[in-house]
Amino acid sequence: MSEVLQNSISSRDGQTFVFDTFDKVKTVFESQIANRQNVKNRSAEERKDKLNLLNNEILKHRTEIEEALFKDLKKHSIEAGYSEIFPTLSEIRNISRNLRRWMRSNPVKNSLPFIGSKSKILLEPKGNCLIITPWNYPFYLSMTHLAVCIASGNVAILKTSEYSPNVSKVIKEILSGVFEEDEVAVIFTGAEVSTEMPKLPFDHIHFTGSTNVGKQIMKNASTNLTSVTLELGGKSPVIIDENYPIKDCIKQIGWGKFLNAGQTCIAPDYILVHKDKKDEFVDKLSTYLKDSFGEKSTDSEFLTGIVNKSHFKRIENLVQDAVSDGNQIVFGGKMDKSRLAFGPTLLMMNSSAAIMEEEIFGPVLPIVLYNDVEDAIKFITKKHKPLAMYLFSNDKKWLNEVLLNTSSGGVCINDTMAHFVQTYLPMGGVNHSGIGKSHGYFGFKEFSNERAVLKSYIKGGITWPFQFPYTKLKKNILEILIKYF
């Protein structure tokens, strides 16, 4: 497990990684300020060249990436491939294919009063950006946000998580083969320096992590009125329609929840099952989990580890608290503290508990029974708007009722997680689950300033009817505008 010391961290594989200092941060920040105009002026081809180099460096370091993910999180190489490496490369290639089109100015229509002028929107780089990424998908979340940031023409400081030090080291090696530090720099540091970084006058800050830390980031950024993107989390629910076959949703739910040991911001956090389907659901999901992870799940090579002791203890306490409040473990509950292995666990909820008030971020799935769809909707809407919502139904009326009466960052129907890697969909939350959007063109816009440009072709300007002195003619024009436009 990773253990934070004063100026360094000891990783779960026994290595010590020294933190960068705040003086280093300030030095890099100043160098990027001096260079941001040069980077801003790069053509589409120059930006694409950087993306292609990044793509090639990732491929070159594929083995090292997989090894680092195993060292930090005990993540299986296949899981590392489809949850970290493949979607990263896919995102970079999509950005590169579309970049020239995204960079073009967008002409806008003129209404009659603006005849004699042309208007357009320019997407210009925001400037110097800070990207703060978490430990749960340390490669994917770092590289994809960085890729769209540099494609937008920005310079960037990438602050990687201290809890994934081996991955941070590989990321630094990859980026050093593509960028100078006055373009892109990786900062590896602890909480003390991380807290100070958002107080610097960045042009934009992109943060992925918990809601509580996101609030602090936003507060610190407000000192300089820096714009922020906050990709947070929350309690993402699953609802299974009473009439949907249980057998047709088990694999999607079992995979989506227990991928990365549930340490995913859009993982199903709890599930609403109709009261008449309770036994069938528990039986079929339990069978799937046994088949996937074996009788002793904590020994399974497919089970990703919990990131550190404190996170393990937090999940354990949530389960113990729930059981002491009268809720029941109906599957799993196995733990190996020495290896930070927490087996898939199903928890039947019979009463309220702390586990239903905060994001679990672990391999525990609470099951809540409902009577009808109105009951399920009422349960969901009592909580903050989640980052994701998962609905299993083939009934259009049922789906529309849920969609119209709830709100979430994204919705996935008859599957889990799939919308997250669909690069043509925006990724982001609502209120407590996030601010702003990521992915493809949505991310490009997030790291850009939408600059309004109007050019008048009329001598004296199209504003001549409003200019001094105010005459009877101008009053008549005003009356026409008010009446018809």
> 3-state class of 323 per DSSP?
helix
Model confidence at 12, in pLDDT bands (50, 70, 90)?
A: confident
294: left (phi over 0), alpha (psi -120 to 50) or beta: left
Rounded to whole angstroms, what are the CA distances from 77 to 64, 69, 134, 166, 302? 11, 8, 20, 15, 9
pLDDT at 313: 98
pTM assigned to the model: 0.96
- 462: exposed, middle or buried (C-beta count within 10 Å: 0-12, 13-18, 19+)? middle
Model confidence at 63, in pLDDT bands (50, 70, 90)?
A: very high
Residue 466: CB atoms within 10 A of its CB come to: 12
Query: pLDDT tens for residues 388-432?
Result: 999 999 999 999 999 999 999 999 999 999 999 899 999 999 999
pLDDT at 3: 53
Pick the CATH number of 3-232+437-449 from 3.40.605.10, 1.10.20.60, 3.40.640.10, 3.30.70.1350: 3.40.605.10
Model confidence at 1: pLDDT above 70 = no
Residue ranges per structural domain of the chain: 3-232+437-449, 237-428
Model confidence at 214: pLDDT above 60 = yes
- CATH H superfamily, domain 237-428: Aldehyde Dehydrogenase; Chain A, domain 2 (3.40.309.10)
Query: pLDDT tens for residues 136-153?
Result: 999 999 999 999 999 999
Model confidence at 2: pLDDT above 80 = no
Q: How far apart are CA 65 and CA 84, in angstroms?
A: 9
**Annotated active-site positions, please?**
231, 265
pLDDT at 436: 98
Query: pLDDT tens for residues 303-324?
Result: 999 999 999 999 999 999 999 9
Q: How far apart are CA 298 and CA 319, in angstroms?
A: 17
Q: How far apart are CA 58 and CA 171, in angstroms?
A: 9
Average pLDDT over the chain, rounded to an integer? 97
